[in-house]
Amino acid sequence: MVEGFISRGFRGRRRQPNNAQLPPGQYETKGFPVLSAGPTPHVPLSEWDFTLVGEIDEAKRWSWEEFQALPSEEITKDIHCVTKWSKFGTRWGGVSVDTLLGNVETSAAYVTAFCDGGYTTNLPLEDVTGGKAWVAYAYDGEPLEPAHGGPARLLVPHLYFWKSAKWVRGLSLLSHDEPGFWESLGYHNYGDPWREQRYQGD
């Protein structure tokens, strides 16, 4: 059929497909680039913990073993890096931030994720609740590799991937917003890939 032939040929010539999965300015990669602002920290699991601190009645702490015992979820999501690569259908395992915040009473409106190595990133509390964010410790059915944030990283796939803090150790619940590492170096404070919020002023 002529119509089918034409549309196949048309698709074949496009370098950037008009893919509804691809935010503006992004391209798809099949690889999984590593982007780290510093060296990969290596903390023994016996010393690892995850804590909730800040605007919270009582700080919360889970050891690695306690964290593994929390209800976990399998998550399949597209991810989008501000350096313009997107990767479709990445498969993760981990704990929903909703689970971590389950019994917590807080007046906080923001969180800052903090990490081994000193990296931080800030998010509205709204963006890490309601099934939008996880602390992931598995990738593709295997323990998360150190280069990609193992033993555990934040996963916030609806925002640019710099918000998905690697080697995350906790969340600080805050009543005010505090720019994190890249946010204080000129990256957009919120970072919605669909609105192409790469840098301050976008």
What residue ranges bind ligand MTE (CB under 6 A)?
A: 33-37, 81, 115, 117, 119, 148-149, 161-162, 164-167
DSSP single-letter state for residue 158:
T
Provide the residue type at 95 as one letter: V
Q: Residues interacting with Mo ion, by CB under 5 A?
A: 35, 81-82, 162
Of the pair 11, 42, the CB lying nearest ligand MTE is at 42
Question: Closest distance between Mo ion and the C-beta of residue 158, in Å?
Answer: 15
By Cβ distance, which residue is nearest to ligand MTE? 119
Calpha distance 154→96 (Å, rounded): 10
DSSP single-letter state for residue 80:
E
Calpha distance 87→89 (Å, rounded): 7
- Using CB distances below 5 to 8 A depending on partner kind, what does residue 185 bind out of ligand MTE, Mo ion, none? none
CB 52 within 8 A of CB 101: yes
Half-sphere exposure (Cβ direction) of 201: Cα atoms closer than 13 Å: 2
Calpha distance 183→11 (Å, rounded): 38
**Tokens, residue 103:** 């019994």
Question: Closest distance between ligand MTE and the C-beta of residue 170, in Å?
Answer: 12
Question: Closest distance between ligand MTE and the C-beta of residue 57, in Å?
Answer: 28
- Using CB distances below 5 to 8 A depending on partner kind, what does residue 149 bind out of ligand MTE, Mo ion, none? ligand MTE
- Using CB distances below 5 to 8 A depending on partner kind, what does residue 37 bind out of ligand MTE, Mo ion, none? ligand MTE
Of the pair 54, 117, the CB lying nearest ligand MTE is at 117
Of the pair 7, 76, the CB lying nearest ligand MTE is at 76
Phi and psi angles of residue 94, each rounded to the nearest 5 degrees, phi first: 175, -165
- Using CB distances below 5 to 8 A depending on partner kind, what does residue 112 bind out of Mo ion, ligand MTE, none? none
Calpha distance 24→167 (Å, rounded): 29
- Using CB distances below 5 to 8 A depending on partner kind, what does residue 170 bind out of ligand MTE, Mo ion, none? none
Place of tokens 């015992």: 69
